[in-house]
Amino acid sequence: MDTKTQPQRNTTFKNEIFEGLSSFPKHLSSKYFYDKKGDKLFQDIMAMPEYYLTGCEFEIISKNTVAIGELFRDKEKGLDLIELGAGDGKKTKVLLKYMTENNFNFTYKPIDISENAVEMLSKNLAHEMPTLNVEAEIGEYFEVLERLKGFNKRKKVIMVLGSNIGNLKHPKAIEFLTKLQDAMLPEDMLFMGFDQKKDPQTILNAYNDETGITEAFNRNILTRINREFRADFEVEKFRHWEAYNPETGTAKSFLVATEAMKVSIEKLQLTVSFDQWESIHTEISQKYDDKIVSWLAEESGLRIETSFTDEKEFYKNYAFTKA
């Protein structure tokens, strides 16, 4: 497991908090939701009936395991299966099981920014699939992209599930996809999940449950800043707010200050003032359709080979190659 870049990551986190909370309007990156508590809360979100994304992608992978697995297969030299933002690997395990049981020669390389997620997944796989060759790594998407080029001795399949791409605005998504494309050879494949546009109410409900799990997940970023940077956010004074714009297909999460306050962040030597009802933008969850995905692919030098959807057509997984 790579922990060498940990100090660098802490510095990036520090700089991004400073920049985001000193800006107007204020913002923080959703990639910082995921510490031990955030990972657990995200697992609770995935288990909520409103959060349809996980069930849909699980259905797609379970019903098409053979077709997807065989798209990945390389009979001669085997392959490297690299997953970015792997989380707890719940859906990936369906494919890993098929691949191990059907004599695939492969290494599974999950990469995630959350140290806890990487540790848990590695332990879990060692227990559940002891013969699987796993090379897990802690890393940030854009940090690891350059190194992906080094996987050039045999086929590589890059996988991004959970519509993680939706956390990036379109220009950043194109930058991400272009860098992935640049790291790919003609035989390589990119397999990626994209949550689709649908009834706006269904989308809103997925990020706005009444039990308050999503609110706890959103507020956890402030709890994390309190702990890691000695800040004094009173997290219960921030309300979770979700908005979905059907025109752009963008769902946005905010934390809204319910009263005016000052927050001190000791390790940043920063005091942040909030007016009453001022917001911090914390996450975007972009929704797509075939036209948008085709446009993203074209802009990034990728070709859509095939796609898979669930019964309700809420979600799609696309397989791309280099155009």
Ligand X SMILES: C[S@@+](CC[C@H](N)C(=O)[O-])C[C@H]1O[C@@H](n2cnc3c(N)ncnc32)[C@H](O)[C@@H]1O
Which residues of this protein are in contact with ligand X, per CB under 6 A? 31, 34, 42, 85-87, 90-91, 112-114, 117, 140-141, 161-162, 164
**Nearest distance from C-beta of residue 193 to ligand X, angstroms:** 7
Q: Nearer Cβ to ligand X, position 99 or 144?
A: 144
User: Minimum CB separation from ligand X for residue 164, in Å?
Assistant: 5
Residue 12 CB, nearest approach to ligand X (Å): 10
Beta carbon of residue 112, minimum distance to ligand X (angstroms, whole number): 5
Q: Which is nearer to ligand X, 117 or 297 (CB)?
A: 117
- Residue 33: CB minimum distance to ligand X, A: 7
- Of 272 and 286, the one with the shorter C-beta distance to ligand X is 286
When the beta carbons of 140 and 188 are compared against ligand X, the nearer one is 140
Longest dimension (CA), the chain: 64
| DSSP bridge partners of 192 | 160, 318
Contact 186, 321 (CB under 8 A): yes
In the complex, least distance from residue 31 CB atom to ligand X, rounded to whole angstroms: 4
Residue with nearest beta carbon to ligand X: 162
Between 87 and 249, whose beta carbon lies closer to ligand X?
87
Residue placing its CB nearer to ligand X in the complex, 56 or 222 = 56
Nearer to ligand X, 118 or 265 (CB): 118
Which residue, 255, 248, 243, 177, is CA-closest to 218? 255
Residue number with CB closer to ligand X (115 or 187): 115
Least separation, in Å, of the C-beta of 306 and ligand X? Answer: 20
| Rounded least distance, CB 103 to ligand X, Å | 26
SS (H, E, C) the chain: CCCCCHHHHHHHHHHHHHHHHHCCCEECCHHHHCCHHHHHHHHHHHCCCCCHHHHHHHHHHHHCHHHHHHHHCCCCCCEEEEEECCCCCCCHHHHHHHHHHCCCCEEEEEEECCHHHHHHHHHHHHHHCCCCEECCEECCHHHHHHHHCCCCCCEEEEEECCCHHHHCCHHHHHHHHHHHHHHCCCCCEEEEEEEECCCHHHHHHHCCCCCCHHHHHHHHHHHHHHHHHCECCCHHHEEEEEEEECCCCEEEEEEEECCCEEEEEHHHCEEEEECCCCEEEEEEEECECHHHHHHHHHHHCEEEEEEEECCCCCEEEEEEEEC
> And the tokens for 220?
């956890």
